[in-house]
Structure 1
Amino acid sequence: MHQIPDPDQVFPNEYKTSCFIKNVVKAPNIFIGDYTYYDDTVDPAGFEKNNVLFNYPEFGDHLIIGKFCAIASGTKFIMGPANHRVSSITTYPFHVFGGAWQENTPPHLDQLPRKGDIVVGNDVWIGRECVIMPGIKIGDGAIVAAYSVVVKDIPPYTVFGGNPAKFIKQRFDEELTELLLKFAWWDLEPETLVEVLPLLCDPDLEKVKQALKIRLTATK
């Protein structure tokens, strides 16, 4: 048997700057996969408090992050209640200040636009100080460049960056991308994953492509 890192550890290595955040998040509307980590030299275990902003579970939206994601220091996920009413003349949230203002306006959360869940796929790398806006979907294997503000969905295995974040390039050709999505290595059993790690880290992409074809054919 191999000695495999434990997904249920809070700090998986001696440096204690990387935190497997599924083990520290408590909000009922946040779901995070195994081995996804947040890296921060100050408070990596404070991810929920410091990096998921305006999260009120009663609003109904969710933050869903897949397995094996790498989230760099300062990245912020902006949840739906951060929004203001935009369907009327003013965006000012009179209701939250009480008194006659509250009596003469609809409940605050009921007025806000509904953008839906933030969903981040598997094996996604989000660079330092990124901002992910409400309702955004980021596909498997995507990379978000540091200091980006993500306001539109990001397809699998692409690189986006900037403010607002825009398409920079495809990571791989269409054939390899399709093979990777079918292979879904993040769902492998731990011992099987150890066996394929050399393949996942091999820069010879043509070799990887051929190996994936063989593996996928064998599983049919």
Structure 2
Amino acid sequence: MPRNSTTPFLDASRVHPITLPDGQIYPNTVWLKTVIDHPNIHVGDFTYYNDFDPVQDYAARIAPYLHPGAPEHLHIGRYGQFAHGTRFITSSANHPLEWFTTYPFAVFDPEQMPYFAEEFGRGQDMRIGHDVWIGHNAMILPGVTIGNGVIVGAGAVVARDIPDWSLVAGNPGRVIRRRFADDICDALDALAWWDLPPEEVRDLVPLLASRDEPALRDALAAW
């Protein structure tokens, strides 16, 4: 598509970015950045979430244990694709694992807080890279980092860091394989298309929507 095209591409200001062929707005899909206002959640442009159930609070839906002021943060990159049921289980969901009890007494009796303050004050940030697809009902556990270009299969439970361009499935989630050969993964990392202005991304769509490895190498060489 020529650079001087006036055809609208991706409008980051929209709440519901999908318009159906009959002109109706599809209500189930949202740009997360437009619907989340939470000091502990940071979302890149054009990352969408789809839910088939009514949602009043998208922050609470995708990260139900992350409250404002918690010690951990959730960082989500650009161009993410999150299916119905995607859940980020952040560190505030944890209970003490090494004590004689895992019961959080201080939650119910503030006088017990001196015993729990250090434990409750711990927090591991969660980081989700760019162009990550998380499948239906997948769950990401506390402190996990998911690299760029990762695909998380439906129903997977991811408890460990996942390197870039991996395909993950199962419970516990395990890396099945890398999506591309190492040199192609390196080329995609170098291209870093998700950092480009949307108009330049539009120009790259014919390449991105292909498996043309020579063209990818040519594009990177010309960059």
TM-score, normalising length: structure 1: 0.90
Match of 2:152 among 131, 144, 157: 144
Q: Aligned pair in 2 of structure 1 residues 22, 16: CA closer, same or farther (>3 Å)? A: same
What does 1:1-220 align with in structure 2 at a 5 Å threshold?
Answer: 1-13=6-18, 14-43=25-54, 46-98=57-109, 102-104=110-112, 106=114, 108-112=116-120, 114=122, 116-202=124-210, 205=211, 207=212, 209-219=213-223
Per the TM alignment, residue 143 of structure 1 is displaced from its structure 2 partner at its CA by: 0.2
Paired residue type of 1:218: A
Q: Deviations over 1:80-126 (max 9, x none)?
A: 1111112322111112222xxx4355264532484511100000000
Q: Distance in 2 between matches of 1:107 and 1:37?
A: 40
Q: Which stretches of structure 1, 4 residues or longer, exceed 6 Å deviation after superposition?
A: none
TM-score, normalising length: structure 2: 0.88
Cα RMSD, aligned residues only: 1.7
Aligned residue pair count: 212
Q: Distance in 2 between matches of 1:45 and 1:186?
A: 29
Q: Aligned pair in 2 of structure 1 residues 96, 2: CA closer, same or farther (>3 Å)? A: same
Q: Distance in 2 between matches of 1:104 and 1:195?
A: 59
Give structure 1 stretches of 5+ with no counterpart.
none
Is 2:10–2:198's contact at 8 Å kept on the other side of the alignment?
no
Paired residue type of 1:140: N
Per the TM alignment, residue 215 of structure 1 is displaced from its structure 2 partner at its CA by: 2.4
Q: Deviations over 1:28-69 (max 9, x none)?
A: 110101110000122356321222121123232111110111
Per the TM alignment, residue 210 of structure 1 is displaced from its structure 2 partner at its CA by: 2.0
Is 2:71–2:121's contact at 8 Å kept on the other side of the alignment?
no
SS at 1:167's partner residue? strand
